[in-house]
């Protein structure tokens, strides 16, 4: 069964303390893996798309990497404004409901960065 698991569920860091969030997936044919950031009371905001194992993308203090089984979101020297829930979603090459390729969302990692 196609599945996306994010860990940890919650993470509390001190400002400047680097860490990584994990998104492990099981899908019948990966088309793409997406990372989004969601602030409380707001909609998800796109961060990265990764398509193939070995691919890496960076944006400010964030770096996303992809292997055949998982993706990591590395946060270097985080600041309080990086506090948010980080969502991972995996798109299958196969179609699910209607004519859409299946997009499976994880439950997210809630990150809190203390000053």
Partner 1 sequence: NAGVTQTPKFQVLKTGQSMTLQCAQDMNHEYMSWYRQDPGMGLRLIHYSVGAGITDQGEVPNGYNVSRSTTEDFPLRLLSAAPSQTSVYFCASSREREETQYFGPGTRLLVL
Residues that bind partner 1 (CB under 8 A): 4, 31-32, 34, 36, 41-46, 49, 87, 89, 91, 96-101, 103-108
Between CA 36 and CA 58 the distance in angstroms is 13
Between CA 82 and CA 113 the distance in angstroms is 7
Q: Which is nearer to partner 1, 14 or 99 (CB)?
A: 99
Q: Which is nearer to partner 1, 4 or 13 (CB)?
A: 4
CB of 31 to partner 1, least distance (A): 7
**Do the beta carbons of residue 115 and residue 80 sit within 8 Å?**
yes
Q: Which is nearer to partner 1, 21 or 89 (CB)?
A: 89
| DSSP character at residue 2 | -
């Amino acid at each position: 069964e196609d599945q996306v698991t994010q860990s940890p569920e919650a993470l509390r860091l001190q400002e400047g303390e680097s860490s990584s969030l994990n998104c492990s997936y099981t899908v019948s044919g990966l088309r793409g893996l997406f990372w989004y950031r969601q602030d409380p009371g707001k909609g998800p905001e796109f961060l990265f798309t990764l398509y193939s194992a070995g691919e890496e993308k960076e944006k400010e203090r964030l770096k996303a990497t992809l292997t055949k089984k998982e993706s990591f979101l590395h946060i270097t020297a985080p600041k309080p404004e990086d506090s948010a829930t980080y969502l991972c979603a995996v798109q299958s090459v196969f179609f699910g409901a209607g004519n859409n390729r299946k997009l499976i969302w994880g439950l997210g990692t809630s990150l809190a960065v203390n000053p």
